[in-house]
A and B are shown apart, each in its own frame.
Chain A
Amino acid sequence: MTSPAGTFGTPRPTPTIEGIQDAFREHDYIADRSLATAVFLALELQRPLLLEGEAGVGKTELAKVLAKTLDANLIRLQCYEGLDVNHAVYEWNYPRQMLEIRLLEARGEASKATPADIFGEDFLIKRPLLQALEADGTAEPPVLLIDEIDRADEEFEAYLLEILSDFQVTVPEIGTIRAARPPRVVLTSNRTREVHDALKRRCLYHWIDYPTPQKEYEIVLARVPAAPERLAREVVAFVHRLREADLTKVPGIAETLDWAAALLSMGARELGPELIDETLGVVLKYEEDIRQVRGETTRQYLAEAAVSF
């Protein structure tokens, strides 16, 4: 709230698509027009935004930057197989309830106690979804990041549907908790399975692709500002060449940035075959991939990369 740069300011004027692009850039996130448009519409139409794309293209990062830009809290729910309501919405603090009962007994008040004494808000453990609904109406609604929804079970997805359409949760012992202002929701998926259509229908959708070399070059300069331009250019060109190769796991932007930072810390000014071979583990995460690329292929890719960009 103190820095007007990169935020929309407290008496928030309606953001524009360019405004979002600029604000994201302030936070070193380079978004192209179509992504900015999707974010803009999600904010304006108050719809969840479902982002899909390969690993490491900046889906999660977008939610973080959005929270910073809006000057809002980021509440993150990391999905995994077996995630259930207890871990996503709320859970009763059972040990504390037991202790409270003991205390009541010790004080001789057990006979007067009612269920309300141990099913109050004090005993409720609020998990991310409930936290997101609970924010008071005066502050900027939080950004709720539901990360890697494809990893969660389909049952949970169905439950999520309910929350995303009504923005309310019913806790039987307490009552219904409704969001004063619905949170901005960002869902991400790596597409390990198809997200159910009913959920997609409630969301705006954007597929984040690998960036163009030019855009990735900008990203590297923004995120690793100390990197010499030449090094950044060469790193990006080489990674792009790698993405065309038949690899088990193609490097994402995250790997490009790691690599640039690693090379920088080694004091490199430009790429060379030996240097690449030494640091290949930063870019490629599978032994077979490294073995495939190391050596002669490195030289070949380096030569081709120099031509392409």
Chain B
Amino acid sequence: MATEREVAVTPKGEVVDGRLLLAEAVAFGRALRRASLQVDLGAAVDFARAMTLVDIGDREQLRAAGEAVFVRRRDDREPYEQVFDRFWRRRRPRLPGEGPRAQRPTLDPNAEPGDGEGEQAPEGGDERTLGQQEAGGIPLPTAGEGSTEDEDELDGVMIAPDAWSASELLRHRDFDKMTPAELRDAERLVDLLTPRLEQRRTRRYELHHRGRCSGATSRPAASSPSGSGGDPSTGRARSS
């Protein structure tokens, strides 16, 4: 039963390690989530199933399959294309059905500790770039800290369009998605802000329509009861 679950068969009749497919799908889903697509685990599972149905050696088929599963609105399509490009370049030599079989054993031990879901690959696997950074905070698509030998070859092809500096990322990140370290950084940045309050001129220096004069003399009429034609005594005399 266990073997049944872990083995998938591609349309070409090849037998593929199901856990590997799932790990790939989850990693891809993670990368997409960081690109602000709304990806849940269900979609990743769907994608893993989809990978057994299409020819995963065919870039266009795989791209379209992922698009159908992960993209949920029109604006998602562009970030999806970018992430897929990276995914394809990075994963291509290692996708099952591609390249020599001998490569798989080097991957499998990595999938084992995470078990099935490939949820976490603790140290230095190929999951590191995708999984670890999620927990570690800001993802740096360009050469990150402590790259493994896997990443080095990839960084060579990484190009600018979706590379941001740490503070740029911080500036656009939701507070509730920040790690404690990021929150601290953000707080520091907030402290640096000098509040620029709106300025308003005082009426004292306003130019009166009859020329420059002080506030007190500019408004004599205000104190005079307009009903009595400006004579303060008349009004009072009548009322008493």
- Chain A residues within CB distance 8 Å of chain B: 16-17, 33-34, 37-38, 40-42, 44-45, 47, 52, 191, 194, 197, 200-201, 204-207
Contact = CB atoms under 8 A, between A and B. Distances in A.
B61 A207 contact: no
Nearest to A35: B64
Most chain A CB atoms below 10 A, which of B61, B68, B77: B68
A205 B61 contact: no
B43 interface: yes
Contacts of A52: 73-74
B73 A37 contact: no
B73 A194 contact: yes
Given A34-B67, A38-B68, 14 more contacts: A17-B54, A37-B67, A40-B54, A41-B54, A41-B68, A44-B50, A191-B74, A197-B38, A201-B43, A204-B46, A205-B71, A206-B68, A207-B74, A207-B77
Name B's interface SS: helix
Interface in B21-75: 38, 40, 42-43, 46, 49-50, 53-54, 60-61, 63-65, 67-69, 71-74
A204 B69 contact: yes
16 contacts: A17-B61, A34-B60, A34-B67, A34-B68, A37-B64, A38-B64, A41-B53, A44-B50, A44-B53, A45-B53, A52-B74, A194-B73, A197-B72, A205-B67, A205-B71, A205-B73
A37 B74 contact: no
B43 to A, nearest CB: 7
Contact of B68 (A16, A201, A204): A204
B40 A201 contact: yes
A206 B74 CA distance: 9
Contact of A42 (B42, B63, B68): B68
B47 to A, nearest CB: 10
Contacts, number: 61
B64 A33 contact: yes
A34 B64 contact: yes
B40 A40 contact: no
Contacts of B64: 33-34, 37-38
Contacts of A40: 53-54
Contacts of A34: 60, 63-64, 67-68
B68 A33 contact: no
Contacts of A38: 64, 67-68
Given A44-B53, A45-B49, A207-B74, A37 B42 contact: no
Contact of A41 (B40, B65, B77): B65
CB-CB nearest 6 A-B residue pairs: A37-B64, A34-B64, A38-B68, A204-B68, A200-B72, A207-B74
B49 to A, nearest CB: 6
A191 B73 CA distance: 10
B66 to A, nearest CB: 10
A205 B68 contact: yes
A207 B72 CA distance: 9
B32 to A, nearest CB: 13
Nearest to A38: B68
Contact of B54 (A37, A191, A207): A37
